[in-house]
Amino acid sequence: MPKTWSRILKILSISLFSILVVLLVLVNVLAENLIQEESDMLAALNASGQELPIQTNTIEIDSLGSIRYAHLGADTLPLLILIHGSPGDLNAFDSWFADTLLTQKYQLLAYDRPGFGMSQINMQSALEVQSLCVSTIMNTIEAPAYYLLGHSYGGAVVLASMLGEEERIAHSIIVAGSVDPALEPREWWRPIISSKLVSWTLPRMLNSSNQEIEYLYEELLLMEKRLASGVSASLTVFQGTADKLVPAGNADYLKAKIPNCETVWFEGEGHFILWTKQDVIVDHLMKLEKGLNYE
């Protein structure tokens, strides 16, 4: 009997190890496929019917290294800076670059945040560094006005940038953003995934995502203290009532903290309203553009 149990345990151990190896291989293959080469990205955008030239380049962020960005539009138009969530990269906004109505009125710029895509900077948990990327972009790309739009984790980056660049940002939009520290989940397993024993088996994208989310709670607490001093910048929040990844209460939090905040609710919608309700958000941007005065 002991030999039988020993044999069973050995078979189970080998089976579990084999399954783990297969899963890790699949995860790594999937992550690699999510990172598109520039040529693939440009081909996809051109195929959408977008006739305006799309440029890709890099920007140096102080001494940290460079981030990749995609840019479209003339510098006579206001610049809309698009900030992806976690995980993600600038390709999250392919359909936005393909929106010919939007690109008639705005320059668009999407970039790979530190630790993602083709960014040469490692993951940066500090929202202050994340907002530094936005500031550097505004210092580099000329425009008569600057607008921010961030999805999910990108919403926290938008909020940090609003606090640091309040006078330079004409308007900000947060789509299903993680911003309320009280609602930020603190999963027990994240430190395990971040450990050297496990992290080396995962692709960069997933490691960066896990680590920045692990530290987001503390970062949001720090930002909440800064919010206490008040912010006069204008903000629009888009939120689905059935979002299972970012609780809808995050929108209520922003409404309570920022006086000049408008909330747009999507009944029964989930976390991915950046794409499912893109037309509504673009329509809002078009209305904002009509009120601009560059003089």
pLDDT at 29 over 50: no
Please return the burial class of 255, using the count of CB atoms within 10 Å of its CB with bins 0-12, 13-18 and 19+: middle
Phi, psi (5° rounding) for residue 254?
Answer: -65, -40
Average pLDDT, the chain: 87
Q: Classify 7 in phi/psi space as left (phi over 0), alpha (psi -120 to 50) or beta.
A: alpha
Contacts of 197 (CB under 8 A, 6+ apart): none
Q: How far is CA 158 from CA 3, 26, 34, 80, 121, in A?
A: 61, 33, 24, 12, 19
Q: What is the token pair recorded at 225? A: 């203290």
Closest to 294 measured CA to CA, from 134, 74, 101, 50: 74
Beta-carbon-side half-sphere exposure of residue 172 (alpha carbons within 13 Å): 31
* Spatial strand order in the sheet of 54-61: 54-61, 65-72, 107-111, 79-83, 146-151, 169-175, 235-240, 261-266
Q: How far apart are CA 21 and CA 18, in angstroms?
A: 5
What pTM value is reported for the model?
A: 0.86
Residue keyed to tokens 């329509």? 283
Please return the burial class of 67, using the count of CB atoms within 10 Å of its CB with bins 0-12, 13-18 and 19+: buried
In one-letter notation, the amino acid at residue 223 is M
pLDDT at 13 over 90: no
pLDDT value of residue 96? 95
Among 9-13, 241-245, 254-258, where is mean pLDDT lowest? Answer: 9-13
Q: Sign of the C-alpha dihedral, residues 231, 232, 236, 240?
A: positive
Dump pLDDT digits (tens) for 254-287.
Answer: 999 999 999 999 999 999 999 999 999 999 999 9
pLDDT value of residue 201? 84
Strands 54-61 and 235-240: unpaired
Contacts of 225 (CB under 8 A, 6+ apart): none
pLDDT value of residue 117? 93
- Across the range 137-166, mean pLDDT stands at 96
pLDDT value of residue 15? 58
In one-letter notation, the amino acid at residue 90 is L
Phi, psi (5° rounding) for residue 83?
Answer: -120, 115
